[in-house]
Amino acid sequence: MSAAILLAFGALDAVKGLYFLRHYPQAVPFDIYYNVGLRLMRDLVSSRSIGDLWNALRAMKGLAYLGAAGVLYGPWAIWRPGDFQWMREGLAIVDALDLVLAAALVLRWTRSRFAAIATALLWLIFPGYTLNLVRGYPEPLVVLCFLLSLLAFTLAERRGRLGLYALSGFLFLYSIFIRVQVMPFFMLVSGAVLVASARWWLAPPYRRPTLAFLAGTLPVIAVWALLRIEVDDPARLESFSFHAFQRVYPHGFWLYLDTDGWMGPYSLRQYPFYLSLVEAARGEPALLTSSARQWAFAALYVLRHLDESARTVLINLYRFFARPTNDYKWGFPYPYSPQIAVQVFVSLVGLAGLLRARRPGVPWALLATYALTFSLLYAISHVEPRYHLPVMAVLLMTAALALAEARASTRTSPARRGVLVALALAVLSALSWWPSVRITHPGPALGFHHAAVAGAAAALFLFFRAMGKGEVRLVKASTAIVGVVAAAAALAVGFTDVGWHGRRIALAPGAAFRQRIVLTEEGRRTLQGADEAFAIFDLARVDGDQRCLRVDVNGQTQGGESLFPAMPRLPLATTAGHRDPAWFAQWWALPLDAAIRKGLGDVVEITLSSSPSCRNTDMTLGLESFLRDDGRDYEGPSFGDWRKVSVYRLLYDGEHRLPVRQRRDVTERRSGRLDDGRFDVSPNDLHIGLLALRPGGARLDWETARARESRDTVAAFRAESGRGGEALLRVGDPGSAAELGFPLAAREAFTREAESESIRLSYVPEKLGEDRAEGLYVLRVPASLLRAGQPLRLSVWIPTHLSTEERYFAVRPAPAVADAQRLAVGAGASEQALEGFGRFLDATRNSYPGDTGPWEIAAVY
């Protein structure tokens, strides 16, 4: 009967996974494991001897690191080579098998049908494993090998066979070897655990089983060592999306102390830690070549930044347990918010069950080692949410153990009183949190917020401490340690989060919001003098419906089509999963040209409205619950400037902007709604504002050949441009009003005109490449802009447009008039022809951001 129930749960899980794979968009596959598996199978079939197979493996070079995963992918992949959807469906079947095996193990450990069904039910409703199928990662296989290791260990305990202990050890380490990137750290931590527990496992009752278990790990260790010796390709090892042990320099949480713990804002050679390392190497050159010296430097760096380091590690631990694996925030099998609740429930109850699982029949040492190792790994180097999935297999089983124990001894359990007190504190904390994000006065809101955070920390400590009641000393000490760490993590997150008072409001069809901004005198001058400035709006769920919107800046109205999304291209977290980037919360910007800004006074009113006929009812606008210092202080998501965004936060939180504190150049701000033309002021602070940038973007200045006479002229030149976007061509000296815009990397011919100055630019593409194009440009210039015997000055400016994407414009120093005449582009019979290139005036900044650096903020309003 029990077996039939568990198989039914497994079938439901398989149906759930297959339904998701067939009815939801699937991400671009991470197919390297799959391809390695196919290659291994083909090499195995074509090899006629062990020598042939060995040579084939050596020819794989760095890909041989993934052989452990490839061995498991290959037999399934070879059935349908090239069909990755088939591979995904196979992983869904493996996940269902994991459910059945986990529940069967719990049944064998406890003889409790309730515990087994609880395991199966929790696994079925837990979203992480199903949602992880989209990229084809090997976590289902990792979990399967781990569960088989537990099964072998359980059978060995019952039958006393050393061979089963050895098999358990082999499968245990093999499950880690599948994710070969984490092998060095796992070996380090497990070695430390072995040394610390030597007194226990060397005792006569445990010595032979432990030695047999360790003997089973030796083949895996030998293969891993052989790979490191024979292949020695650390660059390839580092490319497999895990960076904790790359060779450039010691990598860990100490890199992310000023990025809120997130990887991604910097490149490897731009992190403050690396710059400090290079600076220290000026007086100690060996520092750049000695790994031991670099690790010693990293240890001292952590000690010098102890507060930030402790906070980052604690926040990493919080993130490890607090969010489900759901890179693209799919609402499957139920909405995302309940997914978070299930993740937190499983984490808390599972940790409690793990602490109390030291009982006969339960392989507590294996469960605890697995959970501890991956948790520490994540704390040291937070990478991506899916790395917690092996630990969640442990916690799903131990959560069921805890629920079964609670069901059997609710009234008599020594932990009952402590758990009830913790639950009461948690309820009070939740009741304090609700007003903290709705009260519109900073002081009381901050008080309720701090009370909620402190209450949550106290509840966590008391909950885990209660788990040690009535247990042996080791369990009591473990529960106290976990309670302290959990409480510290809650405090670290709660007291340092600057976005806790942010929320979103519906931008319903027909709604209109207004932001009134009173500028300081200095702020107004900065805004008017900036090369680029924008009105910005924190919008989400826009999709392709910005045409529904209308923006009014001091009476000048523009349609929503003038808005553009300012989120960088982050395909790993958006288009790779077939998610429209416009679905995510981000700043949408409206460029404010110089003429508009010159006409602004001290008061700027920005109105954002949605058309009553708009069909998008999901659009939202960000806001803060209250004004800080009349709006002069800003706390919330960054404005997208360099070092303030991370693709890994987008994968984790659905938000790419890091939290910031910023001072605004305003006297005051007032937000509200427009209702029948009446401005109803609210105490909230809408995420509507102004942004002025420091001088930036790419520039190229050059001169044409000398004009023979002052009359209408056509100048021809060749140029290459790249990466798209718009550029501005200016004719004449700096400050000239003769300018027009044109597209970069255009793949089709175009003509652009500036009617006020009778300037016309025509273009014919000649050589096309990926994100770049080279072509012939023909510029018509009126006689009023030329002087006989003098060259004409030309300048191209590429605005940043709130982007860090590469863009450039490179003029070719070669004749072009003959080709323009041959192609009959631009020139008329009465116009003189002029070579459009004579000499460069300044070609040092024609590539953005490579030559100039990414855009930076001059002022926020």
Residue 845 pLDDT > 70: yes
Query: Could you tell me whether strands 512-519 and 564-565 are parallel, antiparallel, or unpaired per DSSP bridges?
Result: unpaired
Give the bridge partners for 12, in sequence order.
Answer: none
Position 60 scores a pLDDT of 76
For residues 312 and 288, what is the distance between their CA atoms, to the nearest angstrom?
Answer: 26
Per-residue HEC secondary structure of 353-393 comes to: HHHCCCCCCCCHHHHHHHHHHHHHHHHHCCCCHHHHHHHHH
Q: Is 685 in contact with 671 (CB distance < 8 Å)? A: yes
Per-residue HEC secondary structure of 149-179 comes to: HHHHHHHHHHHCCHHHHHHHHHHHHHHHHHC
For residues 705 and 839, what is the distance between their CA atoms, to the nearest angstrom?
Answer: 8
pLDDT band at residue 312 under the 50/70/90 scheme: very high
Q: Which residues of 172-187 are buried (b: 16+ CB within 10 A; e: fewer)?
A: bbbbbbbbbbbbebbb
Give the burial class of 694: count Cβ atoms within 10 A of its Cβ; 0-12 exposed, 13-18 middle, 19 or more buried.
middle
> Tokens at residue 486, please?
């959990």
Question: Which residue reads 């072998």 in tokens?
Answer: 152
> Tokens at residue 101, please?
């095996």
Position 733 scores a pLDDT of 81
Q: Is 342 in contact with 129 (CB distance < 8 Å)? A: no
Position 251 scores a pLDDT of 80
Express each pLDDT in 250-267 by its tens digit: 788 898 898 888 887 777
For residues 363 and 397, what is the distance between their CA atoms, to the nearest angstrom?
Answer: 12
Alpha-helical regions (H) of 467-552: 473-496, 521-529
Positive or negative CA dihedral for 99, 105, 110, 113? Answer: positive
Position 235 scores a pLDDT of 47
Phi then psi for 743, rounded to 5 degrees? -85, 145
DSSP string, 548-586: GEEEEETTEEEEGGG-EE-----GGGTGGGT--GGGS-E
User: Residue 414: is the preceding peptide bond cis (ω within 30°)?
Assistant: no
The secondary structure of residue 622, as a DSSP letter, is: E
Express each pLDDT in 34-65 by its tens digit: 888 888 888 887 888 887 777 777 777 777 77
> Tokens at residue 477, please?
């000490």
Position 234 scores a pLDDT of 54
Over residues 164-182, the mean pLDDT reads 93
Query: Could you tell me whether strands 603-610 and 549-553 are parallel, antiparallel, or unpaired per DSSP bridges?
Result: antiparallel
Q: What percent of the chain has pLDDT over 90?
A: 62
Q: Would you mind telling me the total number of residues written for the chain in this entry?
A: 861
For residues 143 and 386, what is the distance between their CA atoms, to the nearest angstrom?
Answer: 12
Express each pLDDT in 723-755 by its tens digit: 888 999 999 887 777 789 999 999 999 999 986
Beta strands (DSSP E) in 575-712 are: 586-591, 603-610, 620-624, 633-637, 659-663, 666-675, 678-682, 685-686, 688-693, 698-706
The secondary structure of residue 29, as a DSSP letter, is: P
How distant, in Å, are the alpha carbons of 513, 752, 794, 815 from that of 811?
46, 18, 11, 11
Q: 413 in helix, strand or coil?
A: coil
> Tokens at residue 75, please?
């037999």
Give the burial class of 723: count Cβ atoms within 10 A of its Cβ; 0-12 exposed, 13-18 middle, 19 or more buried.
middle
Nearest Cα neighbor of 690 from 577, 530, 495 is: 530
Q: Is 718 in contact with 776 (CB distance < 8 Å)? A: yes
Question: So what's the architecture of 502-693 in CATH?
Answer: Sandwich (2.60)
Residue 350 pLDDT > 90: yes
How distant, in Å, are the alpha carbons of 99, 116, 395 from that of 14?
10, 18, 21
Give the burial class of 796: count Cβ atoms within 10 A of its Cβ; 0-12 exposed, 13-18 middle, 19 or more buried.
buried
Residue 241 pLDDT > 50: no
How crowded is residue 126: how many other Cβ atoms within 10 Å of its Cβ? 26
Position 232 scores a pLDDT of 63
Nearest Cα neighbor of 298 from 376, 259, 245 is: 245
Express each pLDDT in 470-484 by its tens digit: 888 888 999 999 999
Express each pLDDT in 677-699 by its tens digit: 899 999 999 999 999 999 989 99
Positive or negative CA dihedral for 782, 784, 787, 788? Answer: positive
> CB-based contacts of 58: which residues, under 8 Å, 6+ apart?
64, 230
For residue 781, the surrounding DSSP H or E stretch is strand 772-781
Nearest Cα neighbor of 777 from 717, 826, 830, 733 is: 717
Q: 746 in helix, strand or coil?
A: coil
Over residues 155-161, the mean pLDDT reads 91
Over residues 586-612, the mean pLDDT reads 94
> CB-based contacts of 341: which residues, under 8 Å, 6+ apart?
none
Position 1 scores a pLDDT of 66
Q: Is 727 in contact with 741 (CB distance < 8 Å)? A: yes
For residues 504 and 565, what is the distance between their CA atoms, to the nearest angstrom?
Answer: 18
Question: Which residue reads 């770049």 in tokens?
Answer: 772
Phi then psi for 488, rounded to 5 degrees? -65, -40
Give the burial class of 758: count Cβ atoms within 10 A of its Cβ; 0-12 exposed, 13-18 middle, 19 or more buried.
middle
pLDDT, greater one: 113 or 246: 113
For residues 109 and 394, what is the distance between their CA atoms, to the nearest angstrom?
Answer: 14
Q: Is 861 in contact with 665 (CB distance < 8 Å)? A: yes
Domain layout of the chain by residue ranges? 2-237, 410-496, 502-693, 698-859
Alpha-helical regions (H) of 409-532: 416-436, 442-466, 473-496, 521-529
Q: Is 641 in contact with 655 (CB distance < 8 Å)? A: no
Predicted model pTM: 0.89
Position 240 scores a pLDDT of 45
For residues 374 and 379, what is the distance between their CA atoms, to the nearest angstrom?
Answer: 9
For residues 689 and 551, what is the distance between their CA atoms, to the nearest angstrom?
Answer: 12
Over residues 367-394, the mean pLDDT reads 86
Mean pLDDT of the chain: 90
pLDDT band at residue 382 under the 50/70/90 scheme: low
Express each pLDDT in 802-842 by its tens digit: 998 899 999 999 999 988 888 766 555 578 899 999 999 99
Over residues 225-233, the mean pLDDT reads 75
Residue 242 pLDDT > 60: no
User: Residue 435: is the preceding peptide bond cis (ω within 30°)?
Assistant: no
pLDDT band at residue 238 under the 50/70/90 scheme: very low
Position 77 scores a pLDDT of 86
Q: Is 610 in contact with 511 (CB distance < 8 Å)? A: yes
List the single range of 200-209, 457-466, 588-597 with lowest mean pLDDT: 200-209
pLDDT, greater one: 412 or 554: 554
Over residues 180-207, the mean pLDDT reads 84
Task: 558-567: list long-range contacts, CB under 8 Å, 24+ apart.
Answer: 558/590, 562/590, 562/591, 563/537, 563/588, 563/589, 563/590, 564/588, 564/589, 564/801, 566/536, 566/639, 566/640, 566/802, 566/803, 567/640, 567/645, 567/656
Over residues 204-233, the mean pLDDT reads 87
Position 852 scores a pLDDT of 87
